[in-house]
Amino acid sequence: MKTIFKHIKGDRTIWAIIAVLAIFSFMPVYSASTNLVYVVGNGSTLGHLVKHIVLLILGFAIIYGVHKVPYRYFSGGSVLMLPVVVILLIFTLAQGTTIGGANASRWIRIGGIGFQTSTLAGLVLMVYVARYFAKNKEKTINFKESLLKLWTPVAIVLLLILPANFSTTAIIFVMVLMVNFIGGYPVKYIGFILGAGIVLLSLFVLIAKAFPDAMPNRVQTWQSRIDSFSDGEGKEAYQVEKAKIAIATGGIFGVGPGKSVQKNFLPQSTSDFIFAIIVEEYGLIGGFVIVSIYFLLLFRIFVVIRKTTTIFGMLLVLGVGIPIIFQASINMAVATNLFPVTGQTLPLISSGGTSIWMTCFALGMILSVSASVEETEEDILDDNPLNILHETID
Protein backbone atom coordinates (compact mmCIF):
# COMPACT_ATOMS: atom_id res chain seq x y z
CA MET A 1 0.00 0.00 0.00
CA LYS A 2 2.85 2.38 0.82
CA THR A 3 4.32 1.71 -2.62
CA ILE A 4 1.03 2.71 -4.25
CA PHE A 5 0.77 5.94 -2.24
CA LYS A 6 4.37 6.75 -3.14
CA HIS A 7 3.46 6.92 -6.84
CA ILE A 8 0.22 8.89 -6.59
CA LYS A 9 0.33 12.61 -5.91
CA GLY A 10 -2.24 15.25 -5.21
CA ASP A 11 -5.24 15.40 -2.91
CA ARG A 12 -5.68 11.95 -1.34
CA THR A 13 -9.34 12.66 -0.52
CA ILE A 14 -10.10 13.22 -4.20
CA TRP A 15 -8.37 9.92 -5.01
CA ALA A 16 -10.53 8.21 -2.37
CA ILE A 17 -13.72 9.80 -3.72
CA ILE A 18 -12.92 8.60 -7.24
CA ALA A 19 -12.29 5.06 -5.97
CA VAL A 20 -15.48 4.98 -3.88
CA LEU A 21 -17.70 6.21 -6.73
CA ALA A 22 -16.11 3.78 -9.19
CA ILE A 23 -16.44 0.74 -6.91
CA PHE A 24 -19.98 1.68 -5.89
CA SER A 25 -21.01 1.93 -9.56
CA PHE A 26 -20.42 -1.79 -10.18
CA MET A 27 -23.64 -3.02 -8.60
CA PRO A 28 -26.05 -0.38 -10.01
CA VAL A 29 -24.66 -0.81 -13.54
CA TYR A 30 -24.81 -4.61 -13.25
CA SER A 31 -28.35 -4.47 -11.90
CA ALA A 32 -29.69 -1.83 -14.31
CA SER A 33 -28.17 -3.51 -17.38
CA THR A 34 -30.94 -6.13 -17.28
CA ASN A 35 -32.99 -3.65 -19.28
CA LEU A 36 -30.42 -3.70 -22.07
CA VAL A 37 -30.22 -7.49 -21.97
CA TYR A 38 -33.82 -8.64 -21.66
CA VAL A 39 -35.72 -5.69 -23.18
CA VAL A 40 -33.32 -4.41 -25.84
CA GLY A 41 -31.59 -7.78 -26.36
CA ASN A 42 -28.08 -6.38 -26.08
CA GLY A 43 -25.41 -8.71 -24.64
CA SER A 44 -25.39 -10.05 -21.08
CA THR A 45 -25.46 -8.42 -17.66
CA LEU A 46 -21.99 -9.79 -16.86
CA GLY A 47 -20.72 -8.49 -20.20
CA HIS A 48 -22.00 -4.97 -19.44
CA LEU A 49 -20.39 -5.08 -15.99
CA VAL A 50 -17.05 -6.26 -17.39
CA LYS A 51 -17.16 -3.52 -20.03
CA HIS A 52 -17.91 -0.93 -17.33
CA ILE A 53 -15.03 -2.16 -15.16
CA VAL A 54 -12.62 -2.08 -18.11
CA LEU A 55 -13.69 1.50 -18.92
CA LEU A 56 -13.10 2.51 -15.30
CA ILE A 57 -9.68 0.83 -15.23
CA LEU A 58 -8.73 2.75 -18.37
CA GLY A 59 -10.15 5.85 -16.68
CA PHE A 60 -7.87 5.33 -13.68
CA ALA A 61 -4.95 4.93 -16.09
CA ILE A 62 -5.91 8.28 -17.63
CA ILE A 63 -6.05 9.94 -14.20
CA TYR A 64 -2.66 8.51 -13.24
CA GLY A 65 -1.02 9.54 -16.51
CA VAL A 66 -2.53 13.03 -16.58
CA HIS A 67 -1.80 13.83 -12.92
CA LYS A 68 1.90 13.13 -13.58
CA VAL A 69 1.99 15.90 -16.22
CA PRO A 70 2.86 19.38 -14.86
CA TYR A 71 -0.36 21.35 -15.26
CA ARG A 72 1.33 24.25 -17.06
CA TYR A 73 1.59 22.03 -20.15
CA PHE A 74 -2.21 21.91 -20.42
CA SER A 75 -2.19 25.60 -21.34
CA GLY A 76 -0.32 25.10 -24.61
CA GLY A 77 -2.08 21.79 -25.17
CA SER A 78 -5.47 23.54 -25.30
CA VAL A 79 -4.27 25.78 -28.15
CA LEU A 80 -3.02 22.77 -30.10
CA MET A 81 -6.18 20.74 -29.43
CA LEU A 82 -8.69 23.48 -30.29
CA PRO A 83 -8.38 23.10 -34.11
CA VAL A 84 -8.51 19.29 -33.69
CA VAL A 85 -11.69 19.59 -31.65
CA VAL A 86 -13.30 21.84 -34.28
CA ILE A 87 -12.48 19.33 -37.02
CA LEU A 88 -13.88 16.46 -34.92
CA LEU A 89 -17.09 18.39 -34.24
CA ILE A 90 -17.57 19.12 -37.95
CA PHE A 91 -16.94 15.47 -38.76
CA THR A 92 -19.38 14.43 -36.03
CA LEU A 93 -22.14 16.63 -37.42
CA ALA A 94 -21.58 15.17 -40.86
CA GLN A 95 -21.07 11.52 -39.90
CA GLY A 96 -22.56 11.25 -36.41
CA THR A 97 -24.68 8.25 -35.50
CA THR A 98 -28.43 8.49 -35.91
CA ILE A 99 -30.26 7.00 -32.94
CA GLY A 100 -33.84 5.88 -33.15
CA GLY A 101 -34.40 7.75 -36.40
CA ALA A 102 -33.50 11.09 -34.84
CA ASN A 103 -30.55 13.26 -35.79
CA ALA A 104 -28.60 12.63 -32.60
CA SER A 105 -25.26 13.47 -34.20
CA ARG A 106 -23.23 13.32 -31.02
CA TRP A 107 -21.16 10.21 -31.67
CA ILE A 108 -18.46 9.03 -34.00
CA ARG A 109 -16.87 5.60 -33.96
CA ILE A 110 -13.11 5.33 -33.59
CA GLY A 111 -11.77 1.79 -33.75
CA GLY A 112 -15.22 0.39 -33.06
CA ILE A 113 -15.66 2.53 -29.92
CA GLY A 114 -18.33 5.23 -29.76
CA PHE A 115 -16.86 8.66 -28.94
CA GLN A 116 -18.87 11.75 -27.97
CA THR A 117 -16.82 14.66 -29.27
CA SER A 118 -18.74 17.36 -27.37
CA THR A 119 -17.35 16.16 -24.01
CA LEU A 120 -13.78 16.48 -25.27
CA ALA A 121 -14.61 19.87 -26.81
CA GLY A 122 -16.00 21.16 -23.52
CA LEU A 123 -12.90 20.10 -21.62
CA VAL A 124 -10.48 21.67 -24.12
CA LEU A 125 -12.53 24.86 -24.25
CA MET A 126 -12.51 25.31 -20.47
CA VAL A 127 -8.72 24.93 -20.37
CA TYR A 128 -8.41 27.42 -23.25
CA VAL A 129 -10.54 29.99 -21.40
CA ALA A 130 -8.45 29.54 -18.23
CA ARG A 131 -5.33 30.05 -20.34
CA TYR A 132 -6.69 33.30 -21.81
CA PHE A 133 -7.16 34.89 -18.38
CA ALA A 134 -3.81 33.61 -17.13
CA LYS A 135 -2.08 35.20 -20.13
CA ASN A 136 -3.91 38.51 -19.64
CA LYS A 137 -3.85 38.73 -15.83
CA GLU A 138 -1.71 41.90 -15.86
CA LYS A 139 -3.67 43.58 -18.67
CA THR A 140 -6.88 45.56 -18.78
CA ILE A 141 -9.50 43.55 -20.68
CA ASN A 142 -10.10 44.96 -24.16
CA PHE A 143 -13.54 43.92 -25.36
CA LYS A 144 -12.75 43.98 -29.09
CA GLU A 145 -9.56 42.00 -28.57
CA SER A 146 -11.38 39.46 -26.39
CA LEU A 147 -14.03 39.00 -29.08
CA LEU A 148 -11.37 37.68 -31.43
CA LYS A 149 -9.10 35.72 -29.08
CA LEU A 150 -11.64 34.49 -26.52
CA TRP A 151 -15.21 34.56 -27.77
CA THR A 152 -14.66 33.56 -31.41
CA PRO A 153 -13.23 30.11 -30.47
CA VAL A 154 -15.95 29.72 -27.81
CA ALA A 155 -18.70 30.62 -30.31
CA ILE A 156 -17.35 28.26 -33.00
CA VAL A 157 -17.20 25.29 -30.62
CA LEU A 158 -20.63 25.95 -29.09
CA LEU A 159 -22.31 26.48 -32.47
CA LEU A 160 -20.91 23.13 -33.64
CA ILE A 161 -22.18 21.34 -30.51
CA LEU A 162 -25.60 23.04 -30.41
CA PRO A 163 -27.38 21.24 -33.30
CA ALA A 164 -26.89 17.84 -31.68
CA ASN A 165 -26.64 18.58 -27.96
CA PHE A 166 -28.36 21.62 -26.48
CA SER A 167 -27.90 20.60 -22.83
CA THR A 168 -24.13 20.20 -23.18
CA THR A 169 -23.94 23.53 -25.04
CA ALA A 170 -25.85 25.27 -22.24
CA ILE A 171 -23.67 23.72 -19.52
CA ILE A 172 -20.42 24.71 -21.28
CA PHE A 173 -21.71 28.24 -21.92
CA VAL A 174 -22.68 28.72 -18.27
CA MET A 175 -19.32 27.35 -17.11
CA VAL A 176 -17.45 29.66 -19.50
CA LEU A 177 -19.37 32.66 -18.15
CA MET A 178 -18.55 31.55 -14.60
CA VAL A 179 -14.82 31.33 -15.34
CA ASN A 180 -15.01 34.74 -17.01
CA PHE A 181 -16.64 36.24 -13.94
CA ILE A 182 -14.07 34.70 -11.57
CA GLY A 183 -11.28 35.66 -13.97
CA GLY A 184 -12.21 39.34 -13.73
CA TYR A 185 -14.00 39.84 -17.05
CA PRO A 186 -16.15 43.02 -16.78
CA VAL A 187 -19.72 42.20 -15.76
CA LYS A 188 -21.20 44.54 -18.39
CA TYR A 189 -19.38 42.59 -21.11
CA ILE A 190 -20.59 39.29 -19.65
CA GLY A 191 -24.14 40.67 -19.85
CA PHE A 192 -23.59 41.56 -23.50
CA ILE A 193 -22.22 38.09 -24.30
CA LEU A 194 -25.17 36.46 -22.49
CA GLY A 195 -27.60 38.56 -24.53
CA ALA A 196 -25.76 37.70 -27.75
CA GLY A 197 -25.94 34.00 -26.85
CA ILE A 198 -29.71 34.21 -26.36
CA VAL A 199 -30.12 36.00 -29.69
CA LEU A 200 -28.01 33.38 -31.52
CA LEU A 201 -30.00 30.57 -29.92
CA SER A 202 -33.25 32.21 -31.02
CA LEU A 203 -31.93 32.57 -34.57
CA PHE A 204 -30.90 28.91 -34.57
CA VAL A 205 -34.39 27.83 -33.48
CA LEU A 206 -36.02 29.99 -36.18
CA ILE A 207 -33.69 28.63 -38.88
CA ALA A 208 -34.25 25.04 -37.71
CA LYS A 209 -38.01 25.55 -37.88
CA ALA A 210 -37.79 27.22 -41.30
CA PHE A 211 -35.56 24.46 -42.72
CA PRO A 212 -36.54 21.27 -40.81
CA ASP A 213 -34.81 18.96 -43.30
CA ALA A 214 -31.42 20.49 -42.47
CA MET A 215 -31.62 19.49 -38.79
CA PRO A 216 -34.43 16.95 -38.45
CA ASN A 217 -36.10 16.53 -35.07
CA ARG A 218 -33.70 18.68 -33.02
CA VAL A 219 -35.93 21.64 -32.11
CA GLN A 220 -38.90 19.28 -31.93
CA THR A 221 -36.94 17.16 -29.44
CA TRP A 222 -36.19 20.17 -27.22
CA GLN A 223 -39.80 21.30 -27.43
CA SER A 224 -41.16 17.84 -26.63
CA ARG A 225 -38.89 17.57 -23.59
CA ILE A 226 -40.06 20.91 -22.25
CA ASP A 227 -43.69 20.02 -22.98
CA SER A 228 -43.28 16.64 -21.29
CA PHE A 229 -41.81 18.34 -18.25
CA SER A 230 -44.65 20.84 -18.02
CA ASP A 231 -47.69 18.70 -18.90
CA GLY A 232 -46.46 15.19 -17.99
CA GLU A 233 -47.05 13.55 -21.36
CA GLY A 234 -44.80 11.91 -23.96
CA LYS A 235 -41.78 9.58 -24.01
CA GLU A 236 -39.70 11.70 -21.62
CA ALA A 237 -42.63 11.93 -19.20
CA TYR A 238 -42.87 8.12 -19.24
CA GLN A 239 -39.22 7.82 -18.22
CA VAL A 240 -39.57 10.43 -15.48
CA GLU A 241 -42.73 8.73 -14.21
CA LYS A 242 -40.92 5.39 -13.90
CA ALA A 243 -38.00 7.15 -12.19
CA LYS A 244 -40.36 8.73 -9.67
CA ILE A 245 -41.96 5.33 -9.00
CA ALA A 246 -38.48 3.85 -8.45
CA ILE A 247 -37.58 6.59 -5.97
CA ALA A 248 -40.92 6.27 -4.13
CA THR A 249 -40.54 2.48 -3.98
CA GLY A 250 -37.07 2.74 -2.47
CA GLY A 251 -38.27 4.45 0.68
CA ILE A 252 -35.66 5.03 3.36
CA PHE A 253 -33.64 1.81 3.15
CA GLY A 254 -34.38 0.59 -0.41
CA VAL A 255 -35.55 -2.76 -1.75
CA GLY A 256 -32.01 -4.17 -1.77
CA PRO A 257 -29.12 -4.44 -4.27
CA GLY A 258 -30.22 -5.91 -7.60
CA LYS A 259 -33.92 -5.99 -6.65
CA SER A 260 -35.09 -2.94 -8.62
CA VAL A 261 -38.29 -3.43 -10.61
CA GLN A 262 -38.34 -0.16 -12.53
CA LYS A 263 -34.98 -0.92 -14.18
CA ASN A 264 -36.98 -3.18 -16.50
CA PHE A 265 -39.03 -0.21 -17.73
CA LEU A 266 -36.51 2.65 -17.78
CA PRO A 267 -34.80 2.77 -21.23
CA GLN A 268 -31.78 4.71 -19.86
CA SER A 269 -31.52 2.88 -16.54
CA THR A 270 -27.72 2.45 -16.76
CA SER A 271 -26.98 6.05 -17.71
CA ASP A 272 -29.40 8.99 -17.55
CA PHE A 273 -31.67 7.53 -14.85
CA ILE A 274 -29.24 5.41 -12.84
CA PHE A 275 -29.75 7.64 -9.80
CA ALA A 276 -33.40 6.53 -9.66
CA ILE A 277 -32.29 2.89 -9.65
CA ILE A 278 -29.78 3.64 -6.88
CA VAL A 279 -32.48 5.21 -4.69
CA GLU A 280 -34.87 2.32 -5.41
CA GLU A 281 -32.30 -0.28 -4.39
CA TYR A 282 -30.45 1.59 -1.64
CA GLY A 283 -33.17 3.96 -0.48
CA LEU A 284 -33.05 7.56 0.62
CA ILE A 285 -29.92 6.75 2.63
CA GLY A 286 -28.11 5.51 -0.49
CA GLY A 287 -29.16 8.58 -2.47
CA PHE A 288 -28.07 10.88 0.36
CA VAL A 289 -24.65 9.19 0.50
CA ILE A 290 -24.13 9.71 -3.24
CA VAL A 291 -25.14 13.38 -3.01
CA SER A 292 -22.82 13.82 -0.01
CA ILE A 293 -19.88 12.29 -1.90
CA TYR A 294 -20.32 14.75 -4.77
CA PHE A 295 -20.54 17.64 -2.29
CA LEU A 296 -17.34 16.38 -0.65
CA LEU A 297 -15.69 16.37 -4.07
CA LEU A 298 -16.88 19.97 -4.58
CA PHE A 299 -15.40 20.91 -1.20
CA ARG A 300 -12.05 19.32 -2.06
CA ILE A 301 -12.04 21.11 -5.43
CA PHE A 302 -12.35 24.43 -3.57
CA VAL A 303 -9.59 23.34 -1.19
CA VAL A 304 -7.28 22.80 -4.18
CA ILE A 305 -8.36 26.18 -5.62
CA ARG A 306 -7.63 27.93 -2.31
CA LYS A 307 -4.13 26.43 -2.13
CA THR A 308 -3.25 27.12 -5.77
CA THR A 309 -0.87 30.05 -6.24
CA THR A 310 -1.32 30.69 -9.98
CA ILE A 311 -4.25 32.20 -11.88
CA PHE A 312 -4.12 29.45 -14.50
CA GLY A 313 -4.10 26.69 -11.89
CA MET A 314 -7.05 28.20 -10.04
CA LEU A 315 -9.16 28.76 -13.15
CA LEU A 316 -8.17 25.37 -14.57
CA VAL A 317 -9.45 23.53 -11.48
CA LEU A 318 -12.57 25.69 -11.44
CA GLY A 319 -13.25 25.25 -15.16
CA VAL A 320 -12.85 21.47 -15.33
CA GLY A 321 -13.98 20.60 -11.79
CA ILE A 322 -17.26 22.48 -11.33
CA PRO A 323 -18.82 21.00 -14.53
CA ILE A 324 -18.47 17.51 -12.97
CA ILE A 325 -20.58 18.58 -9.98
CA PHE A 326 -22.94 20.54 -12.23
CA GLN A 327 -23.47 17.49 -14.44
CA ALA A 328 -24.13 15.27 -11.42
CA SER A 329 -26.65 17.77 -10.06
CA ILE A 330 -28.50 17.93 -13.38
CA ASN A 331 -28.61 14.13 -13.66
CA MET A 332 -30.12 13.80 -10.18
CA ALA A 333 -32.50 16.73 -10.79
CA VAL A 334 -33.81 15.03 -13.95
CA ALA A 335 -34.37 11.74 -12.09
CA THR A 336 -36.36 13.57 -9.40
CA ASN A 337 -38.36 15.59 -11.97
CA LEU A 338 -36.84 18.92 -10.95
CA PHE A 339 -35.42 19.48 -14.44
CA PRO A 340 -36.40 18.46 -18.01
CA VAL A 341 -34.68 15.39 -19.50
CA THR A 342 -31.24 16.42 -20.77
CA GLY A 343 -29.27 13.22 -21.41
CA GLN A 344 -26.53 14.02 -18.86
CA THR A 345 -24.92 11.02 -17.15
CA LEU A 346 -23.95 10.63 -13.48
CA PRO A 347 -20.13 11.08 -13.42
CA LEU A 348 -18.11 7.92 -12.64
CA ILE A 349 -21.29 5.94 -11.92
CA SER A 350 -23.28 5.82 -15.18
CA SER A 351 -22.06 3.51 -17.92
CA GLY A 352 -20.47 5.06 -20.99
CA GLY A 353 -16.88 5.34 -22.17
CA THR A 354 -16.52 8.96 -23.28
CA SER A 355 -18.19 10.41 -20.19
CA ILE A 356 -16.04 8.32 -17.85
CA TRP A 357 -12.79 9.05 -19.69
CA MET A 358 -13.34 12.82 -19.98
CA THR A 359 -14.34 13.00 -16.31
CA CYS A 360 -11.16 11.12 -15.46
CA PHE A 361 -9.10 13.46 -17.63
CA ALA A 362 -10.58 16.45 -15.80
CA LEU A 363 -9.89 14.86 -12.41
CA GLY A 364 -6.34 14.09 -13.54
CA MET A 365 -5.78 17.78 -14.29
CA ILE A 366 -7.17 18.76 -10.88
CA LEU A 367 -4.82 16.28 -9.21
CA SER A 368 -1.93 17.63 -11.29
CA VAL A 369 -2.57 21.10 -9.89
CA SER A 370 -2.90 19.65 -6.38
CA ALA A 371 0.35 17.71 -6.79
CA SER A 372 2.13 20.88 -7.90
CA VAL A 373 0.88 22.65 -4.76
CA GLU A 374 2.22 19.81 -2.60
CA GLU A 375 5.62 19.96 -4.31
CA THR A 376 5.77 23.72 -3.72
CA GLU A 377 4.97 23.23 -0.04
CA GLU A 378 7.66 20.55 0.24
CA ASP A 379 10.21 22.86 -1.40
CA ILE A 380 9.34 25.60 1.11
CA LEU A 381 9.83 23.17 3.99
CA ASP A 382 13.12 22.00 2.53
CA ASP A 383 14.34 25.62 2.32
CA ASN A 384 13.36 26.31 5.94
CA PRO A 385 16.51 27.43 7.85
CA LEU A 386 15.69 25.13 10.77
CA ASN A 387 15.57 22.12 8.45
CA ILE A 388 18.88 23.13 6.86
CA LEU A 389 20.40 23.46 10.36
CA HIS A 390 19.19 20.00 11.35
CA GLU A 391 20.61 18.52 8.14
CA THR A 392 23.97 20.21 8.83
CA ILE A 393 24.09 18.85 12.38
CA ASP A 394 23.21 15.35 11.15
337 CB burial (10 A radius; 0-12, 13-18, 19+): middle
Q: What per-residue confidence (pLDDT) applies to 377?
A: 64
Nearest to 368 by CA among 304, 298, 293: 304
Q: What per-residue confidence (pLDDT) applies to 389?
A: 42
Q: What is the pTM of this model?
A: 0.87
CA distance linking residue 41 with residue 285, whole number of Å: 32
pLDDT tens by residue, 64-123: 999 999 999 999 999 999 999 999 888 888 775 544 434 445 667 665 566 788 889 999
CA distance linking residue 6 with residue 180, whole number of Å: 37
pLDDT tens by residue, 201-227: 888 878 777 766 655 555 555 555 565
Whether residue 345 is predicted with pLDDT greater than 70 in this model: the reply is: yes
Identify the weakest region by mean pLDDT among 8-12, 221-225, 288-292. 221-225
Q: What per-residue confidence (pLDDT) applies to 36?
A: 75
Identify the weakest region by mean pLDDT among 84-98, 168-182, 216-230, 266-280. 216-230
With b for 16 or more beta-carbon neighbours within 10 A and e for fewer, the 175-200 pattern comes to bbbbbbebbebeeeeeeebeeebeee
Q: What per-residue confidence (pLDDT) applies to 72?
A: 92
Out of 95-99, 122-126, 142-146, 252-256, the most confident range is 122-126
Average pLDDT over residues 151-180: 90
Identify the weakest region by mean pLDDT among 33-47, 71-85, 174-188. 33-47
Higher-confidence position of 244 and 382: 244
CA distance linking residue 102 with residue 176, whole number of Å: 29
Average pLDDT over residues 325-334: 91
CA distance linking residue 224 with residue 141, whole number of Å: 41
pLDDT tens by residue, 298-308: 999 999 999 99
Whether residue 343 is predicted with pLDDT greater than 80 in this model: the reply is: no
